[in-house]
Chain A
Amino acid sequence: MLTPEEQREIEEEAAHFPLRRAASIDALRVVQKHRGWVSDDAVKDIAAFLDTSPDDIDSVATFYNLIFRKPVGRHVIMVCDSVSCWVMGYEGLRDRLKSRLGIEMGQTTSDGRFTLLPVVCLGACDRAPTMIVDGQLHANLDLETIDRILERYP
């Protein structure tokens, strides 16, 4: 079930569109904000709330890089793997993160603390390499700063 708060936030968006289903991505964002990810049940609940089918909602959910259809850790690290960051040392950074956390890209640490994902260009290429952690941009990264940044996310 969608919580009353989720329903209120989704309704606020849906009310501005001539068709309720237009708020599908807003609804997915709302649910993910509250629960961290979007489960199959949540997809069904959103579909019912927006007068459309679960397949319809899932086709949208799976289209987007920022919607998670599997559980994620307490903190989500998204490392930019696009061209300017690649030129400026993305591969070394990625390998450092993988070995520090003991996981591959796309995995979550066994203590549930971090999920590690690649992401496309974050629009901060003049400060490459970059990553976002829980939505917060970290730029001009190098192997040392990255360790200190991780400590800030218990």
Chain B
Amino acid sequence: METPLTAKIRPDGEMIDLAAYERAGGYQAARKAMRMAPAEITELVKKSTLRGRGGAGFPTGQKWSFVPLGPAAPRPKYLIANADEMEPGTFKDRVLLEGDPHELIEGMIVAARAIEAERGYIFLRGEYTDAAARLSRALAEASAKGYLGRNVFGSGADFDLRLHLSGGRYMCGEETGLLNALEGKRANPRAKPPFPQVSGLFGKPSIVQNVETLCNLPHILDKGADWFVKLGLTGDGGTKLYGASGKVKKPGCWELPMGTPLRELLERYAGGMRDGVRFRGVLPGGASTDFLTADHLDVPMDFTAVAKAGSRLGTGTMIVLDDKTCPVGMVHNLEHFFAQESCGWCTPCWSGLHWAEEILWAIESGRGTPADFDRLDHVTKMCGPGNTFCALAPGAVEPLQSALKYFREDFERHIREKRCPWRNGQ
């Protein structure tokens, strides 16, 4: 089984430095990219079927094709790596950032070539202090060799790449919120159109791309689009960094073929449930995805199949719910997060999510009434797709609406018994 994204990562947890990265074949793809025409790289990435790994799954090559090219294009153009990783339950980009920072830098050189960007930022969440130190070192190593800065690899093109540390807010990971954050403003989202590809950072054409997405690029350049497509078990190409947390025997993060079935992830890689607890459900791709249950264990974990099962692949990192954990309490915890992180720009979100949090807390502490079901349904509808400025609110109600569907009897029991059966001991 091939694991291109993580193959170079050292088992001792230290970062791989420039010399070792190059000995393992690193920076050959960047050299190759500099000899290719930008449109040629975009075509290759389109053919590879690579889709964004940040949660939305948008086809990467297609996204680039909207960026104006050539001498008449506005300058400078920007390429930004989204390393904010604040989606609860998600810890996959950390693995790449800490283990192989040069892979990200090389991926960014490739992407910058494809869109003719001369400036780049790595937008890193402030809490990732180890990743920050390693990225700084890798950036210095690459600059000293002339792989970054002026005249990259003697191509005549410039690429100035800098690390930006964020101050900690989930909204900074949203593409247009991130652009505002980089401009030194609050991370409220921007209206689209204009799309960032045309008018992004400081009004210039910009591409924001997830860390894992970018790390795939050197390998696609090296080994080709067909190779990449065949890595996946289903239609969506490549490998995926999957993860699992919660009361499983071996929580962790694994690079596996895209489309690996949920059951295999949970039983073989995560080692099954801990002794004494049973599986009840799973958020398949981070906090803002719908629950799946035991009925869905044969679903292949790719964009298409998970969507068909009623959820989203999201970030591919799963949070497992067991039978000794209260589903109402878990969803309350999630809505507390989303209500707190709402940027306050639009009413259904800032108001609705706080209401959801309050109602869930009332149910959890024995003060719920049957009318609360209608109230919660109302919030999930108000916050659904199309009613809010950005995708935070629709994502926030995904675990809530699916919990109301799959764990309804647990909500009812809280209301009937006027207490949380889990908190008082079952």
Contact = CB atoms under 8 A, between A and B. Distances in A.
Interface of A: 16-19, 21-26, 28-29, 50, 59-60, 63-67, 81-84, 86-88, 119-128, 132, 135-137
A41 B185 CA distance: 20
A24 B325 CA distance: 42
B202 A63 contact: no
A26 to B, nearest CB: 8
Interface string B52-90: 000000000000000000000000000000000111111
Contacts of A21: 183-184
B356 to A, nearest CB: 15
Contact of B244 (A18, A64, A126, A132): A126
A59 B125 contact: no
11 contacts: A24-B185, A26-B165, A29-B167, A66-B126, A83-B337, A84-B88, A84-B246, A87-B320, A87-B321, A123-B90, A126-B91
Task: For chain B, give the interface size range.
Answer: 35 or more
A22 B183 CA distance: 4
Contacts, number: 138
Contacts of B126: 29, 66
Given A82-B337, A83-B330, A124-B94, A132 B89 contact: no
Interface in B9-66: none
B190 interface: no
Nearest to B87: A121
A143 B185 CA distance: 40
Contact of A23 (B184, B186, B337, B340): B184
B287 A83 contact: yes
Contact of B127 (A84, A122, A125, A128): A122
Given A24-B184, A66-B127, A83-B337, A125 B89 contact: yes
B182 interface: yes
Contact of A65 (B165, B169, B181, B246): B169
Interface in B174-202: 181-187, 202
B210 interface: no
Interface string B87-116: 111110110000000000000000000000
Given A63-B186, A82-B88, A126 B245 contact: yes
A87 B247 contact: yes
Given A18-B202, A25-B184, A84-B319, A136 B129 contact: yes
Given A25-B166, A83-B89, A88-B247, 6 more contacts: A22-B184, A81-B333, A120-B337, A121-B87, A123-B90, A125-B91
A65 B245 contact: no
A18 B204 CA distance: 12
The secondary structure that dominates the B interface is mixed
B125 A123 contact: yes
A18 B119 CA distance: 12
A20 to B, nearest CB: 9
Contacts of B167: 25, 28-29, 60, 63-67
- A-B residue pairs, 3 tightest by C-beta: A64-B167, A65-B168, A125-B245
Given A66-B127, A87-B246, A135-B129, A19 B181 contact: no
B287 A123 contact: no
Contacts of B263: none
Contact of B252 (A84, A87, A126): A126
A32 to B, nearest CB: 9
Nearest to B340: A120
A81 B246 CA distance: 14
